Amino acid sequence: MASLLFLSLIAVFLFSTLSSAARHHQHAPPHFAKPPLPKPSVTSVPPEIHIACKATRFPQQCETSLTKSNHLPPNPTSLQIIQLAMVVSAENLKTAQSMVKSILDASVGSQNRTTAAKNCLEVLRNSEYRISQTNDALPRGKNKDARAWMSAALLFQYDCWSGLKYANDTRMVNETMSFLDSLIGISSNALSMMVSYDNFGKDAGSWRPPMTERNGFWESSGSSDGSGFRGGFPSKLTADVTVCKDGGGGCYKTVQEAVNVAPDNAGTRRFGDGMGKTVITGSLNADTPGISTYNSATVGVLGDGFMANGLTFQNTAGPDAHQAVAFRSESDLSVIENCEFIGNQDTLYVHSLRQFYKSCRILGNVDFIFGNSASIFQDCKILVRPRQLRPEKGENNAITAHGRTDPAQSTGFVFQNCLINGTEEYMSLYHSKPKVHKNFLGRPWKEYSRTVFVHCFMEALVTPQGWLPWSGDFALKTLYYGELENSGPGSELSQRVPWSSQIPAEHVYSYSVQNFIQGDEWIPSSQLLAHQRKIT
């Protein structure tokens, strides 16, 4: 019998999770000015450092931070310079953790500041872990892995800064935010050099600052768009543990109990009886005191290599409850197939790292697919639901809100062979008064937002303009929103906003499963028979 699990007090966490006070419906103000650094004289900067730092967004900060490091070897190679940048990032991260700990110690009696500081310490620990992974990957030539992990490390540092801004009521918090802003710049520089090393090789003289498709730059790719990729959830798996609503017959009563018996909470695969049959549901939302968008998730996943099949994840907070996440993942190399995600605002939080969604249904209305991950959605149904308590009044819905903060981050949303439509209830509203029901493919949550649709079918509910600004002209010159060979009444390009793009056919391969998330290296063949721990 299918399981229906009600989780209304706390979100289910499949792995040890971090929580963040960051609320996602405000784009961040410009960073604080970098703390003044002594400008090194031209003769004091080793030429190798000077050349390499030209490939960063903040070259003076790069030169100063690397030159004053005690770890600088004589005549460093380009790889050693990147490794030195990682050391400097890790050292400054330790200082940031100490500063946040001081905030926590000084925040007795301030619930808001205490929560922000605790959350910040957790995300900084996660950043520390991803930096450590990056350091291990680079010498082994695992450049794409290193870039993915450092992109996440940078994101988590930004999450800490963003969370603290909601508790910036003391000089100590303000000073810590200023230091974090400097740390973000240092980590950005390390990532930028890493991207050049991967794209242009060991000769730092050929390196250049990070560029995006808006600059006319695409990374080299193969000759397949990836739409024929046949990997996914392994077939023919049998259950090791089972969850039943009554907990009888050898079943576990809750998903969390079943997860807890997995060794080190690692390598968990979860599958159910099918979408709409096995349902995991919760109702937390960001309007609840002490609850952020991040920890409103019904299910949150942190451990790498997570897989799920045949499940529905739902947040029932309602259309008037604002941010309410059904599923949140920062699991690298995760595979989700034949699953359903139901919510309203912020249904699916694809927070970070590399994720693959196949043959899924995603329902919501406001920014209901959002985050700063590198995620591919293949053969999925994206369905708009009625947004508010009086939906007949009309609305502006954005399907996606990608949150890339740095052009060097290897993140973005790719939709391949997907259907963009509305639920039956919503389409009835739409057809009754189409001029007031406007639906957009996405809007830029952060400055370098990136989202593309390839070979998708778009129904009439997609507005002719296609894409929605966030606020004024924010990010309109730096985002990349691309479309190629879509079909359906909503795919007509003649009235698209001028800051969106048509993907050149010769560059569509950049967004393949193989190139964008290196999926051919880690997504199992759909016929693979694997012996792994499973939960049904």
- Residues belonging to the active site: 346, 367
Amino acid at 7: L
Residues 3, 425: Cα–Cα separation, whole Å: 26
Residues 471, 213: Cα–Cα separation, whole Å: 22
- Rounded to the nearest 5°, which phi and psi values hold at 534? -130, 150
Q: How far apart are the first and last CA of the chain?
A: 11
Q: Of 86, 194, 201, give the one whose Cα is nearest residue 133.
A: 86
Residues 339, 337: Cα–Cα separation, whole Å: 5
Contact 202, 77 (CB under 8 A): yes
DSSP H stretches of helix in 138-170: 143-164
Contact 489, 420 (CB under 8 A): no
Residues 23, 323: Cα–Cα separation, whole Å: 9
Give the tokens for residue 275.
């979408």
Residues 80, 86: Cα–Cα separation, whole Å: 10
CA distances from 514 to 222, 224, 227, 306, 509 (A): 9, 9, 10, 19, 9
The two beta strands, 269-271 and 307-309, are: parallel
DSSP H stretches of helix in 16-142: 47-53, 59-67, 78-105, 111-137
In the numeric block, the tokens 């990729």 are attached to 229
Query: Which helix (DSSP H) or strand (DSSP E) does residue 361 occupy?
Result: strand 361-364
Q: What DSSP character marks residue 323?
A: B
Residues 501, 513: Cα–Cα separation, whole Å: 21
Q: CB-based contacts of 223: which residues, under 8 Å, 6+ apart?
A: 509
User: Quick one: angle between helices 78-105 and 143-164, nearest 10?
Assistant: 30
| Cα radius of gyration (the chain) | 23
CA distances from 487 to 442, 453, 502 (A): 18, 11, 14
* Neighbour count for residue 57 (Cβ, 10 Å): 16
With b for 16 or more beta-carbon neighbours within 10 A and e for fewer, the 300-326 pattern comes to bbbbbebbbbbbbbbbbbebebbbbbb
